[in-house]
Structure 1
Amino acid sequence: MLAILLAVALLAAGSYLGVRLLRTDDAPATPSAQEQPQQNEQPPGEEPPPTGQPPAAEVPVSLTKPVVIDKFQLGQEPEGVVVSPDNKTVYVADQNSKDVHFIQVGSREITKVKVPNTPRFIAISQDGSRVYASMFENDFTGNGLAVIDTKSRSLVKAIRTGPRPFEPAVGPDGDVWVPIHNGARVEIYDDKTLTESGRISVPPNPHWVTFSPDGSVAYTANHESAQVSVINTADRLVQRNVKVAKTPHAIALTPDGKKLIVTNYDLDKVQIFDTATMRQIKQISVGKEPQAVMVSSDGKHAYIVNEGSDNVSVVDMNAAKVVSTVKVGDSPRVVAISPDGLRLYVTDGRGRTVTVLRTSEK
């Protein structure tokens, strides 16, 4: 009996091993590393698969002569103007009232936010969540910077500044740089604490601030001293003061940062400088009393607002000459270009309008 049980056990074990060996032998062989297909190999003639990164936005080709396509009637004396990052809202400082206007481009709805004193010029945070409006009265009282939440459309804080704060600008780290016209300095405000974090002395009297594309350099137009200051943003020290023509009112850089254009308000001219050397490339005659300037997204054209002749001069930045002139409203003051490069907004102070121009074929 014991022998029979032992024989059955041996037979069962052999059957199990046979099944295991049979299954192992029947399984498909795993290919070697050389035989395995290359997952990243791209068949010839085909586009690579998407990487998950959005494609870079196409820069529109700017027109030699922009086309007036619309006007918005608002306020008492529109002055400073900026456009939201999504191109949908235009913000305007109304300097004969105490209002900052919000223009919804699509619906044409216009609302306003009250500020403590007369708003003059305006800047917008990098994410579009805040608008900063410089303020002062005609007797130079009420000097300050109004901080507005764009979502709630409410005043966050009114910061006291030096006398006659002009065109503010948001720096590479989000801080707000405010040129103090009657103080011969730039005041810098921390965007988180909304308190002053630094001061930079410049020649009298700063009107405008702009930054290089990489944020490493700031430039100020110093109106009465006929100089442009070049400032290192890292240590906030003036590297040099460059002599320019009379009454530099506003400045703008090409998108590549290689050229700086300066408006000479009392001369009816603009100057173009090479930023590598800060030597003048050319001085160009434009309309009367050129106040503000903006460069197209493709860097090919500069738009100069001529307050005294009610028009915009278009300068070809490569040829360094005026290629067209466009009529706008009465006493144009400041110009802003939409981030997508498709629209130009000009405030017409005495006309109480904002003129909208198409800057490309789109």
Structure 2
Amino acid sequence: MLLVVLMLATGSYVGFRVLTSDQDQQDAAPPAAGSQATPDPAGTGPSPVEPTAAPVESVPQPAVVDTFPLGREPEGVAVSPDNKTVYVADQNSKDVHFVNAATGTASAVRVPNTPRFLAVSQDGGRLYVSLFENDFTGNGLAVIDTASRKLVKTIRTGPRPFEPAVDAAGRIWVPIHNAGRVEIYDPETLTEDGRITVPPNPHWVVFSPDGRTAYTANHESSQISVIGAEDRLVKRNIKVGRSPHALAVTPDGKQLIVTNYDVDTVEIYDTSDMRQLHKIKVGREPQAVMISTDGVHAYVVNEGTDNMSVVDLKDGKVVSTVGVGDSPRVVAISPDGLRLYVSDGRGQSITVLRTSKE
């Protein structure tokens, strides 16, 4: 698998601590020596989230407004609910960066093993970080308090936890790539609350806006699973294009978007009956996808062509292609819908794009 080759190409890691217990707790260590991040003395965690207005109108061609160096190999990206902080997992180190979205200043929280992907709790108080080494040891989920910037706990998980997600009840769902399952963790006790078996091998999990349905992208089986979020039963497994990597659901819950990494396509499905609406050619090796807050456009980062395809979801076609940094991996959108953040893995940078006329 190309993703595995990419990870192995970064070299081996020396001196990592293998997780040994569900109850393993660590305090955050200082930023790594030589880190490119700079202190952010004003950062105190997310502010209360104000009621949102109507979604901003997205434009068919987002504009790059900034690119800044960060870390050694940025991968997972997430944005706080108040839009003020961008979180970045630096997978060629053991740092998770907290970036002030207004100033670009940053600080780093050290985690026990290599951080890969991120999810933020609904209230913004916690950051969940999947961890594993290139030899698939050190598998875990780091829990960080975003206000104190302290590591609360490290939970041991199955092998190769990928992109976590938080459901409507605050539970953390973690796709376990090498075990063909999703593990679910209770947000209060931070212990495992259940497991769901899916086809090999899950990369991504997303939820419908009403919280009733979960979807997983199962890379090696070229399938997506439709799961009842409450009863935790797999309702359907659907064959899609080769190597589905990431998923996104439109704000109205009517469409599901899938990126097919090995065939350079995006597919759009009607969630009412899982009927395919469109298959769209994009750049090479599409990784992550995000939807504009108005539900009009999908933003697809293409690792193999160092760009982002913008897809009109109604017409099912690419309306623009925007260059980003070297080897883009993950894209996140700010909750206010105004900014996109793309991690440029080999470029060791974050590209910031404006998504509206504002």
- So what's the TM-score if we normalise by structure 1? 0.85
For 1:228 and 1:107, how far apart are their aligned partners in 2? 39
TM-superposed CA distance for 1:283, in Å, is 0.5
Per-residue deviation, 1:108: 1.9
Q: Does structure 1 residue 284 correspond to structure 2 residue 280?
A: yes
Q: Decide whether aligned partners of structure 1 residues 55 and 73 sit closer, same or farther in structure 2, where only a CA change above 3 A counts.
A: closer
Q: Any unmatched runs of 5+ in structure 1?
A: 1-53
The higher radius of gyration belongs to: 1
| Corresponding residue number in structure 2 for 1:335 | 331
Distance in 2 of aligned mates of 1:258 and 1:98: 38
User: Which residue of structure 2 lines up, in the alignment, with residue 137 of structure 1?
Assistant: 133
Q: 1:220 maps to what in 2?
A: 216
**Counterparts of 1:239 and 1:172, CA distance in 2:** 19
1:285 and 1:321 map into 2 onto residues whose CA distance is 8
Residue aligning to 2:65: 69
Aligned counterpart, 2:186: 190
3-state SS of paired residue (2:151): strand
5+ residue gaps, structure 2? 1-49
Runs of 4+ in 1 over 6 A off after TM superposition: none
* CA distance in structure 1 between the aligned counterparts of 2:90 and 2:202, rounded to whole angstroms: 21
Per the TM alignment, residue 72 of structure 1 is displaced from its structure 2 partner at its CA by: 2.1
Which aligned pairs between 1:125-274 and structure 2 lie closer than 5 A?
A: 125-274=121-270
**2-structure distance, mates of 1:74, 1:284:** 32
Q: Which has the higher contact order (CA 8 A, sep 6+)?
A: 2
Query: Contact (CA 8 Å) 2:283, 2:302: kept in 1 or not?
Result: yes
Q: In structure 2, what is the Cα distance between the partners aligned to 1:56 and 1:85? A: 11
1:64 is paired with a residue whose SS is: strand
Instruction: State the Cα deviation string for residues 4-24 of structure 1 (Å, max 9, x = none).
Output: xxxxxxxxxxxxxxxxxxxxx
**1:9-54 C-alpha deviation (Å, 9 max, x unpaired):** xxxxxxxxxxxxxxxxxxxxxxxxxxxxxxxxxxxxxxxxxxxxx8
Measure, in 2, the Cα distance between the counterparts of 1:334 and 1:106: 20
Q: With structure 2 as the length reference, what TM-score do the two structures score?
A: 0.85
Query: Secondary structure, in 3 states, of the residue corresponding to 1:182?
Result: helix
Deviations 1:301-333 (A, max 9, x none): 000000000000000000000000000000000
Q: Residue type matched to 1:289 in 2?
A: E
Q: Judging changes above 3 Å, is the alpha-carbon distance between structure 1 residues 155 and 267 closer, same or farther for their aligned structure 2 residues?
A: same
Distance 1:108 1:211 in 2: 30
Task: Flag the structure with higher helix content.
Answer: 1
- Asked whether the 8 Å contact 2:62–2:355 carries over to 1, the reply is yes
Match of 1:63, SS state, is strand
CA distance in 1, matches of 2:352, 2:131: 25
Confirm whether residue 123 of structure 1 aligns to residue 119 of structure 2.
yes
1:94 equivalent in alignment to 2:109: no
Matches within 5 A, 1:37-48: none
Distance in 1, Cα, partners of 2:317 & 2:337: 21
Hey, what's the Cα distance between the residues in 2 that align with 1:265 and 1:339?
Answer: 26
Pair 88,56 (structure 1): closer, same or farther in 2 beyond 3 Å: closer
Q: Residue 66 of structure 1: SS of its match in structure 2?
A: strand
Compute the displacement of 1:220 (Å).
Answer: 0.2
- What count of residue pairs does the alignment treat as equivalent? 309
**How far does residue 56 in structure 1 lie from its aligned partner after superposition?**
5.2
Map of 1:324 onto structure 2: 320
